[in-house]
């Protein structure tokens, strides 16, 4: 393969892991991020700039063969400028659809997928109508820029709705029914187009446990019926085709009463796919880089039947404790510890569910011993 350069908008851990996976393919990486401390700077050149500085972005992509994202909220005006210079994937359509929770929910409905009851909130009067229509308990979320549970408030009593809205800035929101789910699952999938022919593949469905709105563990395969897992894969294929998607993406679902309800999608590599680094034949990071470079996908099959990931949040453990268990693979992102900040993760793989649960428990214990 001739040498390529990929530009990544965002220099966090996702960008870092994309570069670590793509470098063996002979690809060079560069990053654009507002922070001079962005952790991807360890694995490629970092340009520091603001997202609304279209000139700086254009200089950054000059000489790139492809550009992709690990941060989705780049203003449309900056994207316009970039797209006239270089191939940018995933597409504008995918970004615009997934960055607005109302637009995203309507898109899922147009794909024939089940979503929780929801209503748009743009004013105090609309909030009253939304709460009356959807009912309580519900959850109020900012339409844009929310992540890891930020910009969200649960509303258990209609009388508390207005103050909940004010506490998140009275900005445009979505009000959703609170789903009494049995479990949360996500599918990480990839689509590429090579010489006009599309190729789609998906990793086994992952089962996710959150703590304080932040992903804590992913176990795959999710403990759901084969039929439900297939339904999630079909949903991902439909979404990818409708968006003419190129790259890796994830869709998060609730499982309630045996039914899949779509919560949201992420137009990028996803935390619930980190296990694929050692656990799959081709990691989500490598497949994303392959796709944005117009290359064929590698297999998404797991190497061992059971895989898991546990996030490291708010601390940086000493490697000795974690690595004492030979089943644990440690990934630290080179980030300083801060409350609620993801600083790394641990992957484990096993032949059986039981062995996996044991390894996962050991990983959590090792984290606890490191005061994590």
Q: Could you tell me which stretch among 28-36, 178-186, 272-280, 309-317 binds ligand AMP (CB under 6 A)? A: 178-186
User: Closest CB to ligand AMP belongs to which residue?
Assistant: 179
From 47-55, 171-179, 313-321, 356-364, give the range in contact with ligand AMP by CB under 6 A: 171-179
Binders in 313-342 for ligand AMP, by CB under 6 A: none
Structure tokens at 370: 């490191």
- Shortest gap between Cβ of 143 and ligand AMP (angstroms)? 12
What distance in Å separates the CA atoms of residue 218 and residue 208, rounded to the nearest whole number?
5
| Residue whose CB is less far from ligand AMP, 210 or 303 | 210
| Residue 75: how many other CB atoms lie within 10 Å | 14
Stretch of residues binding ligand AMP (CB under 6 A), selected from 2-10, 103-111, 176-184, 240-248: 176-184
- 64 within 8 A of 41, measured Cβ to Cβ: no
Q: What is the DSSP string of 122-187?
A: SSHHHHHHHHHHH-SSEEEEESSS--TTTTEEEESSGGGHHHHHHHTTT-SEEEEEPP--SEEEEE
Buried-state track 319-346, b at ≥16 Cβ within 10 A, e below 16: eebbeebebbbbbbbbbeeeeebbbbbb
Closest CA to 64 of 35, 89, 92, 40: 89
The DSSP 8-state label assigned to residue 25 in this structure reads: G
**What's the start-to-end Cα distance of the chain, in Å?**
43
Q: Which is nearer to ligand AMP, 215 or 297 (CB)?
A: 215
Residue with tokens 């294929």: 237
Considering only residues 104, 176, 201, 207, which one is a binding residue for ligand AMP as defined by CB under 6 A? 176
The nearer residue to ligand AMP, 133 or 318, going by C-beta atoms, is: 133
Span from 17-25, 37-45, 56-64, 173-181 in contact with ligand AMP (CB under 6 A):
173-181
| Sites for ligand AMP among residues 231-260 (CB under 6 A) | 252
Specify the residue, 116 or 231, whose C-beta has the smaller distance to ligand AMP: 116
β-strand 118-121 against 306-313: which pairing, if any? Answer: unpaired
365 phi/psi in degrees, rounded to 5:
-65, -45
Q: Please identify which residue in 56, 160, 168, 178 interacts with ligand AMP, judged by CB under 6 A.
A: 178
| Residue 116 makes contact with ligand AMP by CB under 6 A | yes
Q: What is the contact mask toward ligand AMP in residues 75 to 114, using x (rule: CB under 6 A)?
A: ----------------------------------------
Tell which one of 184, 201, 207, 286 touches ligand AMP (CB under 6 A). 184
| Per-residue binding letters, 136-155, with ligand AMP (x by CB under 6 A) | ---x------x--x------
- Contacts of residue 86, defined as CB under 8 A and 6 or more positions apart, other chains included, come to 7, 61, 64, 65, 66, 67
Mask 208-227, x = binds ligand AMP (CB under 6 A)?
--x--x--------------
- Helices 226-242 and 101-110, axial angle in degrees (round to 10): 110
Task: Compute how many residues bind ligand AMP; rule: CB under 6 A.
Answer: 14
The stretch near ligand AMP (CB under 6 A) out of 3-11, 128-136, 175-183, 281-289 is 175-183
Contact yes or no for 155/147 (Cβ under 8 A)? no
DSSP single-letter state for residue 280: B
263 binds ligand AMP (CB under 6 A): yes
Contact footprint for ligand AMP (CB under 6 A): 116, 139, 146, 149, 176, 178-179, 181, 184, 210, 213, 252, 263-264
């Amino acid at each position: 393969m001739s040498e390529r350069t990929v530009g990544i908008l965002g220099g966090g851990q996702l960008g870092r892991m994309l570069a670590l996976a793509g470098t063996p393919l002979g690809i060079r990486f560069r990053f654009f991020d507002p922070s001079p401390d962005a952790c991807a700077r360890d694995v490629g050149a970092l340009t520091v700039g603001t997202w609304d500085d279209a000139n700086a972005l254009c200089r950054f992509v000059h000489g790139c063969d492809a550009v992709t994202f690990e941060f989705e909220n780049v203003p449309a005006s900056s994207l316009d400028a970039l797209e006239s210079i270089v191939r940018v994937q995933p597409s504008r359509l995918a970004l615009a659809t997934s960055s607005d929770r109302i637009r995203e929910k309507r898109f899922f409905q147009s794909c024939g997928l089940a979503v929780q009851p929801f209503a748009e909130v743009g004013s105090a009067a609309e909030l009253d109508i939304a709460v009356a229509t959807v009912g309580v308990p519900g959850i109020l979320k900012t339409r844009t820029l929310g992540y890891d549970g930020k910009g969200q408030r649960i509303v258990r009593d209609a009388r508390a709705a207005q103050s909940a809205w004010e506490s998140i800035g009275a900005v445009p929101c979505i009000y959703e029914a609170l789903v009494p789910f049995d479990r949360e699952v996500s599918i990480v999938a990839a689509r590429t187009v090579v010489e006009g022919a599309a190729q789609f593949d998906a990793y086994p469905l992952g089962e996710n446990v959150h703590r304080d709105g932040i992903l804590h563990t992913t176990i795959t395969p999710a403990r759901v019926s084969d039929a439900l897992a297939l339904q999630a894969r079909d949903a991902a294929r439909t979404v990818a085709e409708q968006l003419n998607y190129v790259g890796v993406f994830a869709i998060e679902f609730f499982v309630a009463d045996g039914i899949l309800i779509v919560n949201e999608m992420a137009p990028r590599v996803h935390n619930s796919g980190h296990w694929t680094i050692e656990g799959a034949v081709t990691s989500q990071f490598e497949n994303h880089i392959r796709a944005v470079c117009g290359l064929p996908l590698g297999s998404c099959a797991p190497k061992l039947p059971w895989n898991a990931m546990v996030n490291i949040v708010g601390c940086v453990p000493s490697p000795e404790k974690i690595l004492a268990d030979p089943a644990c693979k440690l990934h630290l992102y080179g980030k300083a510890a801060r409350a609620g900040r993801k600083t790394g993760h641990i992957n484990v793989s096993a032949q059986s569910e039981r062995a996996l649960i044991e390894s996962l428990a050991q990983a959590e214990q090792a984290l606890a011993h490191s005061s994590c």
